[in-house]
Structure 1
Amino acid sequence: MMGKSPNILIILNDDMGYSDIGCYGGEVDTPNLDTLAEQGVRFTQFYNTARCSPSRASLLTGLHPHQTGIGILTDDDGPEGYAGNLNKQCVTIPEVLKGSNYSTFMSGKWHVANDFHHVSDTWPKQRGFDQFYGTIAGAGSYYDPKTLTRDNENIECEAQENDDFYYTDAISDNAVRFIQEHVSSGKEQPFFQYVAYTAPHWPLHAPKEVIDKYKGRFNSGWDKLREQRLERMIDMGIIEPHWKLSERDASQPLWEDAENKEWRQRCMEVYAAQIDRMDQGIGRIINVLKETNQLEDTIIIFLSDNGGCAEEIGPDWGPRLVKNSARAKTRSGEEVIFGDRPEYMPGPENTYQSYGIAWANVSNTPFKLYKHWVHEGGIATPLIVHWPKGIKAKGAIRHSPAQLTDIMATVLDVTGASYPESYKGNKILPLEGQSIVPFFEEDIEEERPLYWEHEGISAIRIGKWKLVKRYPGEWELYDMQSDRTEHHNVAYQYPKRVAKMIKKYDAWAKRCGVIPREKILKR
């Protein structure tokens, strides 16, 4: 490549549904993301891997998560399961880019190491980042997060000693700081920055002034809101008008029959506030890129790690959560109340709640199912790519299917960096993805297979055909051109196609080290 390679900024958020942000049809105010979309490209059929840790592993390495050692989460599922650590047969984007003279920074959630408390060769500094600020663990308090770390040093005290601390803000502020320091140092090399927000993953924690902004916005309830979202998405060109809205989750009542409406509305108001606050932070990052004359040649990639999360937190979750990443008490010594209990409004530090199934169903409009599953509601993510110097089709929408393994390939394409056959004496698995740079200018029809597996839940997509199953159920076949919302299972109409796709899926699963669910359950 000629001249200086572009800066790369990847922004990943946590447990956000396909249609929550404004430029994908949602009610949340996201002016900064909306502007990136207006001046860049939106993808309508980009896919994650349905769960946080596997998505992070795949994004960072360009491999399927099973190949990296993180097939489920960061637990050690041995002796016949996954190690829960990034292994040495994969290489991360910052490790590759350091070989091309990039500075590398990360701010936010790591969650691809199984030891949260002791420095290991799977922590960010050890996997290619020059500087790191964030948490090693997954979810936790936004006011007092466990495993808060700078480089390799625990700095939980910084949150505990600051009454104004809010983790989403801290992630944004440190991302800004890394850019400012890089530019002021006078270094000529480009930078790679990975900003991994925990928002809007539970617990529902947000500043009161942002929550108050959303008072009443969701009062019409989940049924009407899903219909209204769908209309906006069709108008935007995100969704085809002939795709039927998925049914409301059968476990959930009509909105008019729902109890505790004030509390339910508050849950969605806090969830929206979490996304809003993240967008504000993204705005500050964009501003520092402008102020330092970096924006024109910085590729910004925004996406979510899985679909909206339908997990409902029970009061009995407390001990397990505290053991891993939650706090039993607030910084002032007050007991934290665990569980989705309507007598306690979510938002403040002494609560630990989620927004539940019905609102997750709204987040994933128009699709069915959620995080964990590989039907569209679990794996479809918004993807925005903004690059003033490299994208001419401002505001374009692309419908070509692609997935997380393609992010590494895209970074290699635009930077000219080389993917290694070996790294630090270890043989590296071949790259699985392909660059999406050609899609910046036009949609391209292709028949390459896309694959998913999580806890036995499996899928393969080839062109317009998607074969998917909920473990331990039967395979279902859907035509994504006529029925992307997966209403009409046509598996019995196309038995030869199903058999052919199963054979291809089985070959992929064997090659990529997918461990049969039965083996893990029997351990």
Structure 2
Amino acid sequence: MPSRFHILLTSFALTASTLSAAQPNIILIMSDDMGFSDIGCYGGEIETPNLDRLAKGGVRLSQFYNTGRCCPTRASLLTGLYPHQAGIGHMMEDRGQEGYRGDLSARSRTIAEVLRPAGYRTYGVGKWHVTKHAVPEGPKHNWPLHRGFDRFYGTITGAGSFYDPGTLTRDDAMISPFADAEYQPKQYYYTDAISDHAVRYIGEHARDHAQQPFFMYMAYTAAHWPMHALPEDVKKYHGRYDAGYESVRQARLLRLKKAGLVAADAGLSPTKGDWSQVKDRAWETRCMEVFAAMIDRMDQGIGRVLAELEKHGQLDNTLIFFLQDNGGCQEPIGRQATPPKFNTQTFPVIAQDAIRLDVIPKQTRDGQPVRQGQGITPGGPNDYIAYGEAWANVSNTPHREYKHFVHEGGISTPLIAYWPAGLPEAQRGRIESQPGHLIDIMATCVDVAGAKYPAEVEGRSIQPLEGVSLMPVLQKSAHDDTRSIFWEHEGNRAHRMGPWKLVAKEDQPWELYDISKDRAEQHDLASEEPDRVRSMAAAWDAWAARAQVLPLGSWKRPDVNAKGARKKGAAKKAEAK
């Protein structure tokens, strides 16, 4: 395949420059439900000095893409395949089609599984979310230690309380954070726990396995709902968002233009929400203040990881990537309901050693109700609120749409690549506009590690890699303007080729944009370029057929056909349940 050929060429070109040195450590850091412009080095006002440091000493990609949703992104990132090829075209349910099993495919390999035979120790911390099996007594064939990781600390499911996360797991066993003999901080906060375990694993590796390189996958849940943050971090952002949505978006756009992350004449998608009509501004600003504090705390943890690498003399030869799993999240969790009538009700106490599995808990461990609704102040352990569509629109500045969608706001992510020993000094602090995708991360890791991606494992054929190594872009030795990248999620679909992007929402006609001139996707050129639409649509159809995307209705339920209609008799069966 062309992509594998590209990888071989890249590996050959790098033999003298990169692989002559010791194999680099690789740390892959991913945040959750954040927008393109949230962090400081991508135009945000949120304080992220450690990510900014990586950007200043590394390379930023201005047109890097995820899949628009949490678990498909993780499946694609870990395997170097499109998510449907990895079995996770939607979420964690089996929809009856190979592309929608909700469980990582046995015909895929994770980065950890590929790097381990090349001599790497492998560590995972944080959110896993690539298997439907998330109970202690269930199958574990797709848990981290069974997919190439030597150590793991994190959660198997995709969301939960930051003060008492469900499905918390150490290595291969679920645990309670309050009955964990190995880790008892004064205040349990999941973001800190992820950072602390990353630091721990780096230190233990230096002590026990210093002769080996390591790969670490750090998957933060910040800043996914619920809006949970520690008071000292929230305090830093008090008053910062009092001017409202439009003011913050305009300030971000100016910084993005000044940095060269968007064109100097870049447009701005419409602002969602009218600040003058917001009735409870104190509550609305509090939501964004907590969101900012969550990101701030994550950045503090990344700083501790960098300090630990420096302590052991490993920072220069560590390739660090930072990216996000999808755009800002418009999901209205906890915002639409009025405050529950049972706010004063208490529940039986949950034992300190009990294993929690809940994503949206009804109570805290001490018996207090978990509260949702307009006016419930977010931040603490018994509140469960999302920050809302208008602030998600701010996060995605200047792009259109959100998580779930494959317009730019849903799939655009920062990508920071930092590797002092492997990137030319002239590249440090530079911005590269070459489009890239999650599928390229595995290819890059294989490249720099000198690893071999297998065609077969235990007699089972393995899907060939889809991505290409990013090293030619990061080292500014090559640029490809002809490559196609594809998307599908919940019937939303897209094809990017050079500056052109074909995109559509579910059951809607194709739209066409020249991203080099209109990344905000405001000027649909489909009627002016019918031949281009036809050819790009035909390429998307061919990709969808080979990448296990079809039938499109599969993401809904097993009883939905390719056109989204329920199969005959399905309604009666549903009523009988």
Q: Do the structures match in fold with TM over 0.5?
A: yes
Moved more, 111-120 or 135-144: 111-120
Find the aligned partners of 1:501 and 1:102 in 2 and give their Cα distance: 40
Partner of 1:309: 329
Find the aligned partners of 1:95 and 1:402 in 2 and give their Cα distance: 23
- Mapped pair 1:435 → 2:435: no
Partner of 1:391: 423
Equivalent residue letter for 1:377: G
8 Å CA contact retained: 2:87, 2:98: no
Compute the displacement of 1:490 (Å). 0.3
Partner of 2:141: 121
8 Å CA contact retained: 1:134, 1:150: yes
Find the aligned partners of 1:248 and 1:323 in 2 and give their Cα distance: 37
* Matches for 1:462-481 after TM superposition, within 5 Å: 462-481=497-516
- Mapped pair 1:447 → 2:479: no
- Mapped pair 1:71 → 2:103: no
8 Å CA contact retained: 1:146, 1:325: yes
Equivalent of 2:267 in 244, 249, 261: 244
- Mapped pair 1:414 → 2:448: yes
- Mapped pair 1:211 → 2:234: yes
Name stretches of at least 5 consecutive residues in structure 1 with no aligned partner: none
Find the aligned partners of 2:149 and 2:502 in 1 and give their Cα distance: 38
Equivalent residue letter for 1:402: G
Compute the displacement of 1:477 (Å). 0.1
Distance change (3 Å), C-alpha of 1:235 and 1:29: same
8 Å CA contact retained: 1:159, 1:165: no
Q: Give me the TM-score of the superposition, normalised by structure 2.
A: 0.87
Compute the displacement of 1:256 (Å). 1.8
Compute the displacement of 1:76 (Å). 1.7
Find the aligned partners of 2:293 and 2:179 in 1 and give their Cα distance: 20
8 Å CA contact retained: 1:16, 1:307: yes
Compute the displacement of 1:4 (Å). 2.3
* Matches for 1:339-350 after TM superposition, within 5 Å: 339=373, 341-342=374-375, 344-350=376-382
Find the aligned partners of 1:458 and 1:299 in 2 and give their Cα distance: 32
SS at match of 1:369: coil
Find the aligned partners of 1:146 and 1:304 in 2 and give their Cα distance: 22
Find the aligned partners of 2:531 and 2:484 in 1 and give their Cα distance: 17
Find the aligned partners of 1:79 and 1:90 in 2 and give their Cα distance: 16
8 Å CA contact retained: 2:317, 2:421: yes
Compute the displacement of 1:515 (Å). 2.5
8 Å CA contact retained: 2:97, 2:554: no
Compute the displacement of 1:333 (Å). 1.4
Count, aligned residues: 515
Deviations 1:234-268 (A, max 9, x none): 0111110222111113xx2x212211100000000
8 Å CA contact retained: 1:81, 1:520: no
Find the aligned partners of 1:58 and 1:79 in 2 and give their Cα distance: 17
Moved more, 457-466 or 421-430: 421-430
Identity of aligned residues (%): 51
Find the aligned partners of 2:211 and 2:99 in 1 and give their Cα distance: 44
Compute the displacement of 1:163 (Å). 5.8
Equivalent residue letter for 2:200: R
8 Å CA contact retained: 1:4, 1:189: no
Equivalent of 1:514 in 520, 535, 549: 549
Equivalent of 1:490 in 525, 539, 549: 525
- Mapped pair 1:96 → 2:130: no
Partner of 2:74: 56
Equivalent residue letter for 2:419: W
Deviations 1:102-161 (A, max 9, x none): 000000000001011134110000000000000000010000000000011111243798
Compute the displacement of 1:82 (Å). 1.2
Runs (4 or more) in structure 1 with deviation over 6 Å come to: 159-162, 315-318
8 Å CA contact retained: 1:144, 1:159: no
8 Å CA contact retained: 2:31, 2:219: yes
Distance change (3 Å), C-alpha of 1:158 and 1:40: same
- Mapped pair 1:332 → 2:355: no
Find the aligned partners of 2:289 and 2:554 in 1 and give their Cα distance: 42
Find the aligned partners of 2:159 and 2:447 in 1 and give their Cα distance: 33
Find the aligned partners of 1:210 and 1:187 in 2 and give their Cα distance: 35
Find the aligned partners of 1:145 and 1:297 in 2 and give their Cα distance: 34
RMSD: 1.7
Compute the displacement of 1:441 (Å). 2.8
Distance change (3 Å), C-alpha of 1:323 and 1:156: closer
Equivalent residue letter for 1:451: F
Partner of 2:16: none
SS at match of 2:26: strand
Q: Give me the TM-score of the superposition, normalised by structure 1.
A: 0.96
Equivalent residue letter for 1:74: M
Equivalent of 2:38 in 1, 20, 24: 20
Equivalent residue letter for 1:31: P
Distance change (3 Å), C-alpha of 1:3 and 1:399: closer
